[in-house]
Amino acid sequence: MNTCQDLLSAITDPSGHEILDPATGEVVGTVHESTTAELDDAVAAARAAQPDWAGLGHAKRSEYLHRAADAVEANAEALAELLSREQGKPVKNGPNAAFEVGGCVGWLRASADFPLEPEVLVDDESGYAEMQYVPLGVVGAIGPWNWPMMITVWQVAASLRMGNTVVVKPSEYTPLSVVGLVHVLNQALPADVLRVVPGGGEVGKALSTHEGVDKIMFTGSTKTGQAIMRAAADGLARLTLELGGNDAGVVLPDVDARAVAGDLFWGAFINTGQTCAALKRLYVHEDVYEEVCEALVEVARQMPMGNGREEQNVLGPLQNKQQYDIVAGLVEDAKKGGGRVLMGGDPVAEQPGYFYPTTIIADLPNDNPLVAQEQFGPALPVIKYSDVDEAVAMANGLDVGLGASVWSSSTENAMAVAQRLEAGTVWINKHGAVDPRIPFGGIKKSGFGLEFGVEGLKSVAASKVISR
């Protein structure tokens, strides 16, 4: 296939559910709605294919992953256009649809190439013991709507590399992107090692409780993650849960405001703020507070928002009406709570699409809902502090801990604060920068389990000790 329309023609079910473009309201395509019986068939097929897939060994499976990456590269333009039309993110500008498709390629190749040798535990006169990592069986992968292709690959690539087969259940908001991606991947993979079952909550629940599934990987809300954890208890399926966050950034008084303003902006507004590990509340020392606010607004005003197929735009719409309403409600709460609107906060009534303007609000108390709740959209609260201990206490005061960041001209000062922040990852002078080589995961109610790197491979395998 060469075009987005070719891809849509290959995956569209004429009798399926309509998926609308969040920028225009137009129909993107129609997707098949799987039944639980079809899910049963997919799991059975994946289970039947798994022994042969595992038997290929790491080297052969890695070859297949590289071929899958080649297939994604060959269809990159079509995949990026489909993703933009369904999810809303711009095709080319900023951290965009093309960026996400490129991330799929990068994670496939990285997962294929990580070395994973048995770990020698004991080797002396008393004997020898080693730890091996063996396939679990079938992995159920349940993904989100914000980065639907890339996060699916995060789940799939490591699982396949370790000899598991995978059944993917995409978000009902962005199923076409994932069905299209799986269609492309399966051009390079053996039959039935990767299956996709688009559908609603009933299918997701059935997958998370299926006796034929050995591991569930889920990225999404804390509430849904808790439900999956309860549901998985009977079958004792292993879990990796990457759940909601409300990431804090702490700006120290020694910062160069203009030097970091661009990275602050993209840390907060990447994918129009629809990123689990985006910067969602910014604590700034009183000595540099106004300077940081001004520099951040200056950058934000240069970032056009609009339809992702219009080349000048770097920010797109919110993906769905529900999320738009959440962001709009939180901004209104911030206004009523005394927040100073530095920009935005004034959506155009009756406009097509779910566009909420880039919004920055200063002078909010730490308990304002826009600060205390995850907004998951283009609205950033900026909170003033006078003492670093105060900033750390506010940053750590919530029950989530996915990511956090510290901003400073001094690595030493930043490291000292980073050590005190409660999060799975703390970045210095950047935020949300994930890397396939570096393990990633949350603490508290942001989930548990690691993805990426060798630790990510181990998380989709069973440990096995051989002792002699």
Residue 408 per-residue DSSP state: -
Q: In this structure, what DSSP letter does residue 305 have?
A: B
Q: For the residues 188-212, what does the mean pLDDT come to?
A: 96
Q: Is the pLDDT of residue 285 over 90?
A: yes
Alpha carbon distance 408, 389 (integer Å): 16
pLDDT reading at 2 higher than 80: no
- Taking residues 38-44, what's their average pLDDT? 98
Q: How far apart are CA 209 and CA 269, in angstroms?
A: 35
Task: Give 95's pLDDT tier (boundaries 50, 70, 90).
Answer: confident
For every residue of 254-276, DSSP letters joined together read: T--HHHHHHHHHHHHHGGGG--T
Alpha carbon 136 to its chain's center: 23
Give the E-state strand segments of 402-451 in sequence order. 403-407, 425-428, 443-444, 447-448
Mean pLDDT of 290-316: 96
From CA 443, how far away is CA 400, in angstroms rounded?
7
pLDDT at 92: 85
Same fold, 4-243+446-467 and 247-428: no
3-state secondary structure at position 195: strand
**pLDDT given at position 152:** 98
Q: What is the mean pLDDT of residues 303-330?
A: 95
Res 456 pLDDT > 90: yes
* Residue 263 in this model has a pLDDT that exceeds 80: yes
Q: How far apart are CA 307 and CA 26, in angstroms?
A: 12
Least Cα distance to 381 among 430, 444, 335 occurs for 335
CA 168 vs. chain centroid, Å, equals 15
Radius of gyration for the chain, computed over Cα atoms and rounded to the nearest angstrom = 22
The SS3 of residue 79 is helix
Share of the chain above pLDDT 90, in %: 96
Neighbours of 67 (CB within 10 A): 15
Distance CA 282, CA 391 (A): 10
Say if CB 188 and CB 154 are below 8 A apart: no
Per-residue confidence (pLDDT) for residue 387, from 0 to 100: 96
What percentage of the chain reaches a pLDDT higher than 70?
Answer: 100
Across the range 74-80, mean pLDDT stands at 97
Q: Is 344 left (phi over 0), alpha (psi -120 to 50) or beta?
A: left
State the average pLDDT for the chain: 96
Give the whole-angstrom CA distance, residue 320 versus residue 88: 9
Query: Both tokens of residue 365?
Result: 């108390």
Strand arrangement of the beta sheet that strand 359-362 belongs to: 340-343, 359-362, 379-385, 279-285, 247-251, 403-407, 425-428
| Cβ count within 10 A of residue 304 | 14
* Number of C-beta neighbours around residue 191 at 10 A: 10
Confidence of residue 1 (pLDDT cuts 50, 70, 90): low
Question: How many residues can be counted in the chain?
Answer: 468
Terminal Cα distance for the chain, rounded: 54
Residue tagged 């060994």 (tokens):
57
pLDDT at 334 over 90: yes
85 pLDDT exceeds 70? yes
* CATH no. for 4-243+446-467: 3.40.605.10
Domain regions of the chain by residue span:
4-243+446-467, 247-428
Backbone angles phi, psi at 291, to 5 degrees: -65, -45
Position 350 confidence tier, pLDDT thresholds 50, 70, 90: confident
Is the model's pLDDT at 102 over the cut of 70?
yes
* CA nearest neighbour of 267 among 399, 453, 445, 427: 427
Which helix (H) or strand (E) segment holds residue 370: the answer is helix 369-372
**Tens of pLDDT along 202-239?**
999 999 999 999 999 999 999 999 999 998 888 889 99
Instruction: Just list the catalytic residues.
Output: 242, 276
Residue type, 272: T
17-20 and 27-31 as β-strands: parallel, antiparallel, unpaired?
A: antiparallel
Work out the average pLDDT over 246-269.
98
Q: State how far the alpha carbon of 156 is from the alpha carbons of 108, 265, 422, in Å.
A: 9, 30, 29
Q: Which two tokens stand for residue 232?
A: 């998985």
* Protein fold of 247-428: Aldehyde Dehydrogenase; Chain A, domain 2 (3.40.309)
Convert the pLDDT of each residue in 356-412 to its tens digit: 999 999 999 999 999 999 999 999 999 999 999 999 999 999 999 999 999 999 999
Give the pTM.
0.96
- Residue 357 backbone zone (phi > 0: left; psi -120 to 50: alpha; other: beta): beta
Mean pLDDT of 184-211: 96
Which residue stretches of 273-320 are H helix?
289-300
